[in-house]
Structure 1
Amino acid sequence: MTLKLSHKNSKFTFYSRNLLRSLTPRVIYQRRLRYLLNTLNQYDRHDIESRVNYYLKHNTPFELPTDKSVQIKRYRKKGQSAYYYDLKEFLNYFEQQQKVAYRFGDETHVEPYPFLVKARPIGDDNANAVLFKLNKVRHFNFIEDSLSFREKSDIIVWRGAAYQPNRIAFVQQYYNHPMCDVGQTNPCTPSQPWEKGFMSIADQLRYKFILCLEGNDVATNLKWAMSSNSLCMMPKPKFETWFMEGTLKAGIHYVELKDDCSDIEEKVLYYSQHPEAAEAIIANAHEHVHQFCHPQREKLIGLLVLKKYFELSGQWQPGQ
């Protein structure tokens, strides 16, 4: 049976679109801003506002440090082009003199001032880390899975780079386990038996269970895994992105494992024997994914996050 991966992201398409955006006069973006903000009336306002407030938790004015923020007109690409273009797409809609503070990459520490970031620690003290949809070409990859859960093999799969202690310990313990098809993809010198090389998403989807392990921040495979008909298993997440991993509930959206994954055999056996329980969790995972699959709605939320950011930092005037 053929597996369809119709939502696999194309880097060529991503960069081509951003090249076209760079050729569009700024005045056109600014004229469209008011129209796009007015489309809020087409959606559930409470739902949109709750997501905006989740990403930007501040509700009182704040100041941006002069030496840590940059005017939009001085925003330049300095490596990490996917991050640059993802933010640039939205900055195009705002005034050139407005300033933002941001940080690209996998760092997750929280600064003493509000800044835009891809990922942050899950918790109550992360308000200064303002989540934005960054590096989406890599992370926001949703797929269509033509295999049902019951058609798949009773095995858990994982492939990834194993540089962090949690990943190293896991792959070394389970690379040869009969219920697991796991291995690291980073080159080793000398070669190690747990080095198994690349496995495509299509091949991973032939297994009932997909392990999602955090690395420097969130698990990159979590988003496509939750859009599949396989069951996502993972330790309780410690980091979150635009995907709102902090709202995911164990036993509802995914199967929670111990931090050292020592209960992995028990959980695989249970859900292999109780497919109806697995399918209920998979359905809830699909529902969570669904809210991120509407491009115009996602664009509106991103614009509203920046609008709120500029309002609270004193850079957006009523009637603007």
Structure 2
Amino acid sequence: MTEKLDKLNNRKDWMSPEERVEFYLNNQKKIELNLDEFEIVKNENYWNQREMRLVSYRDFENTFTHWYCKHLVHLPKIRNLRVLPFYRTYKDLHSLMNFFHPFDRLGMDEVFKDSKYPLFYGEAGKTGHVQVIRKSRRSDDATSIIYNFRTLRLTLPCHVALKADNPWQKKADHVIWRGATTGQEQRVKLVDKYFDKYDIGFASVKQKPQLKGFKRNKVSIKDQLKYKFIISLEGNDVASNLRWILASNSVPIMKKPYWQSWIMEEKLKPNVHYLELNEDLSNLEEILSWAAINDDYCNEIAQNGKNYMSQFLVEKNDLPVQKLLLEEFTKRVSYIN
């Protein structure tokens, strides 16, 4: 699958590793990590205590945790286990697996193996102005650093989509959205507004049982890809379905992204990579009416998104960026008390 992506997509539209690393580092040429402040923020609440860690590769090298992350955590019957007897939470393992990849697969100099990295395993948790390394940050966050964490949840579905997808011409001229009730109220607003008009609804309402009237049947990625248009909405942080929609022959319909992650959402352009919803979500009907008479243009948008996303899915292109990011962080960081 990686070889197919490598051949089909236009590399000249991909960003250079150096450009990407500057984005992930928040364009910070010097990084001063105050260890006292790190400890204060870490102890502010229960989740930070669990999810903020100052670690090095050397801390884990040749340990059972390292072996487990390297050989087992990615396996289908293992990766969704949320509680393990020797570890606090599955998110830690998923993130550590990604942290280990550049060291294990590409090799890194001893200085980087010994370096300490301030990892944050969580999602939308607040870490103040501490320069933690996390999977996503808000658009107004000027300090946090992005790393390619949680790929089993966010990136693995892209490969499912690539295998299950249909050509644009064979897709239905309709829109679909399924999601959880997590995160911002915009999801509730979307479902309330369009539940009776389109195939839009909650797949699960466990967190907000009062919304059970807006629940619809769950739809697999394969079946969602039968539609030309798929809505993507942020929840606790990034929209988890955006990556696999971009990797497919369908078009994402979404608001301008507020959260940024490894795929650099702010680099996506409306009418180039996606069709843009208004802030109040009021223009969905207008978008679909326009799309109905601009089918070829929408097909082009889908292909632009697929090309954009492929730079993150071709491992021989993406893994060196992860390595360069950790190296640059080490070179730029200084630790103060």
- 1:258-303 alpha-carbon deviations (Å, 9 max, x no partner): 1222110111121022101101211211221121122122111001
- Report the counterpart of residue 54 of structure 2 in structure 1: 70
- Report the counterpart of residue 185 of structure 2 in structure 1: 165
Deviation at 1:98, TM superposition (A): 1.6
Instruction: Specify which structure has the higher proportion of helix.
Output: 2
- Report the counterpart of residue 94 of structure 2 in structure 1: 82
- 1:234-269 alpha-carbon deviations (Å, 9 max, x no partner): 011101100010100111110001122211011112
Deviation at 1:314, TM superposition (A): 4.6
- 1:168-214 alpha-carbon deviations (Å, 9 max, x no partner): 1211221121xx21111223546723111321011101111100001
- Residue 50 to residue 307, structure 1, CA distance change in 2 (3 Å): same
The number of residue pairs the alignment matches comes to 271
Q: How many Å separate the matches in 2 of 1:156 and 1:209?
A: 5
Q: How does 1:1-320 map to 2 (within 5 A)?
A: 47-67=16-36, 68=38, 70-72=54-56, 73-74=58-59, 78-79=88-89, 80=91, 81-90=93-102, 93=108, 95=111, 96-107=113-124, 109=126, 111-123=128-140, 126-140=141-155, 141-142=157-158, 143-144=161-162, 146-163=165-182, 164-177=184-197, 180-188=198-206, 189=209, 192-314=212-334
- 1:52-94 alpha-carbon deviations (Å, 9 max, x no partner): 1111134433332335362414467542121222123346645
Q: How many Å separate the matches in 1 of 2:235 and 2:125?
A: 11
User: What SS does the aligned partner of 2:29 have?
Assistant: coil
Q: How many Å separate the matches in 1 of 2:15 and 2:307?
A: 18
Q: How many Å separate the matches in 2 of 1:58 and 1:273?
A: 41
Q: How many Å separate the matches in 2 of 1:171 and 1:246?
A: 25
Q: How many Å separate the matches in 1 of 2:246 and 2:14?
A: 26
User: What SS does the aligned partner of 1:169 have?
Assistant: helix
Kept after mapping to 2: 8 A contact 1:110/1:128: no
Gaps of 5+ in 2: 3-11, 39-52, 66-86
- Which amino acid in the other structure matches residue 172 of structure 1? D
RCO (CA 8 Å, sep 6+): is it higher in 1 or 2? 2
- Residue 61 to residue 168, structure 1, CA distance change in 2 (3 Å): same
- 1:23-65 alpha-carbon deviations (Å, 9 max, x no partner): xxxxxxxxxxxxxxxxxxxx99981111111111344333323
TM-score by length of structure 1 reads: 0.77
- Which amino acid in the other structure matches residue 66 of structure 1? L
Q: How many Å separate the matches in 1 of 2:211 and 2:281?
A: 25
TM-score by length of structure 2 reads: 0.73
User: What SS does the aligned partner of 2:177 have?
Assistant: strand
Kept after mapping to 2: 8 A contact 1:133/1:242: yes
- Which amino acid in the other structure matches residue 61 of structure 1? K
- Report the counterpart of residue 23 of structure 1 in structure 2: none
- Residue 257 to residue 46, structure 1, CA distance change in 2 (3 Å): closer
Q: How many Å separate the matches in 2 of 1:305 and 1:229?
A: 30
Kept after mapping to 2: 8 A contact 1:82/1:134: yes
Q: How many Å separate the matches in 1 of 2:307 and 2:13?
A: 16
Q: How many Å separate the matches in 1 of 2:307 and 2:189?
A: 33
Gaps of 5+ in 1: 1-5, 8-42, 316-320
Kept after mapping to 2: 8 A contact 1:108/1:121: no
